[in-house]
Amino acid sequence: MDGGRAAAGGAGPSPVAASPHSTAPSSTSVDVSSFTHTPCYCEENIYMLCKELMRIGVADLMGTDLYVVFISNEEKKVPLWHQKASNSDDGFICWDYHVICIQVKLNLIGVVFCFSLVCTANIKAVHCVSCSISCYFLMCIWKSRRNKGEVLGLVWDLDSDLPFPSPFSQYVSNAIQPLAFGDSIYRRLFRVVHAPLFLQSFASDRSHMKDPAGNWIQLPPKYDPIVAADGTTNNLHEYIAMSVDDVADLESMVNDVYSNNHGVVVNETILSRFFSRLPHP
C-alpha cells in the first residue's frame, strides 16, 4: 500500500455505517507484534508472514493452506474498515491497494482451530463445540457448512485492529463490507494467489516507494529486496493491476489459482463462494 495515497476518515468516499469494533477475544490468537511489519509495505509484510506461519507450524510446511490476496481496483481506490492507519473511529481508510493472507485449513486440526475462532468471535453463536464431540461429527459439521457456501478460514491482516487472525466471515463483514459501494469505482477486486506460487514468483525492488527524485516516500524494510526464484527483481505491478474483465467463471478460477503465478481475480460478489469451493480434504 502506498501511504502517500491513503485517505483516512472523510478524505475518501462516504462509507456506510461500519460495524462496531469487535471486542470478542480470540482464544487461539497469535501475537501480531511477533511478525515483521514495515508500514506501507503490506505486500512484503504478508510475504514474510506466510514464511513465518510456515516456520512455526501454524500453517502447512509448504504453505498449501495459505492464499495471498491483493485488494485493489481499476481506480486504485480501495475502501476498507478497521485499519490501524485510519484516523476514524470505525477504522475507515481508502488505500490504493492492500494485501492480506487468507488461510483455509484442509485438515481436521485446522477445522478445530478455525471452528473455535468462529465460535469465539460470533456473539450469537451457539456454545463452542465441546471437546468430547467426536472428530467425525465435527468434520460433518464443517463439510455441511462449506457445502452451504460458508468459509471456515482465517484472515491474517497485520494492519487491521480486528482479532489477529480473524475468522473469514467476521473480517469480510466488518473490514470489507461487500457491496457497500455497489457498482461504483470503489468496488473491490481480489487477486488471490496460492502462497507456494507467490513465495516463488513475487519480487519487488521497492521503486514504487520512491519519488521522481529518487527519495523514499516511506522508508523500506531493513532486509534486502525480495527477488523471485527465477531472478526477477520487480513484478509488484503485475499483482496490483486488475480489472473486472479479469474475473472468469468460478469453476475455472478454483482450478487456475493453483497453476497461475499471478493467481486469479475475484470480485466482491463471489469472494466467499470462491473460498468455499476450494478443494475439500
pLDDT at 29: 56
Question: How do residues 210-261 score in pLDDT, each as one tens digit?
Answer: 999 999 999 999 999 999 999 999 999 999 999 999 999 999 999 999 999 9
Q: Which residues are catalytic?
A: 42, 98, 157
Q: Where are the domains of the chain?
A: 42-106+149-202+238-277
Q: Which three cell numbers stand for residue 30?
A: 497469535
Are 153 and 171 in contact by the 8 Å Cβ rule? The answer is: no
pLDDT at 180: 84
Are 226 and 47 in contact by the 8 Å Cβ rule? The answer is: yes
Phi, psi at residue 174, to the nearest 5°?
-95, -40
In CATH terms, is domain 42-106+149-202+238-277 a member of 2.60.120.560?
A: no
* Bridge partner residues of 8 (DSSP): 93
Segments in the chain forming alpha helices (H)? 42-55, 108-121, 135-147, 168-171, 195-201, 236-240, 250-256, 271-276
Per-residue three-class SS string for 205-259: CCHHHECCCCCECCCCCCCCCECCCCCCCCCHHHHHCCCHHHCCCHHHHHHHCCC
